[in-house]
Every structure is written in C-alpha cells, then in structure tokens.
Amino acid sequence: MIVLRLVIFLALIGIFSSLILALLLRDRRYFRLAWQIFKFSIVLLLVFAALIFMGRAVLYRMPL
C-alpha cells in the first residue's frame, strides 16, 4: 500500500507541475503530458486493484 500511495503522490506532482507549466508557458504539449500521466496512473491503479482482488479471491477460496 505504501507503493500505491507513492505512485499516486508522484502522479499528482507530475500532473500539477505539467498544468502549471502549460499555463505559464502556454504550450499545449504540457497539457498532453498531464493527460498521459493521468491515463497511465489510472491504468496502473486498476491493474494494482485487480491484482489485489485476485490475490484475496485465491487466498479466501483455498481449502484448509
């Protein structure tokens, strides 16, 4: 879970810094970079959640 929080924190820093650069420099590529970081972090979070769900499903369905 610490890794997940770190990924979220770094993604938020990247998104906000890209948006600030886009507003200050008026360059559209920073908006695209912020959008790509957002999409990548959402996909990463979904994959991580699926792995946790599958791990718990296997763990709780194991006969003792």
pLDDT beyond 90 at 10: yes
34 near 22, Cβ under 8 Å?
yes
42: confidence class by pLDDT, cuts 50, 70, 90: very high
Task: Answer whether 48's CB lies under 8 Å from 4's CB.
Answer: yes
Other Cβ atoms closer than 10 A to 37: 19
**Residue 46 above 70 pLDDT?**
yes
Integer Cα distance of 61 and 5 in angstroms: 28
pLDDT number for residue 4: 86
Identify the pLDDT of residue 22: 95
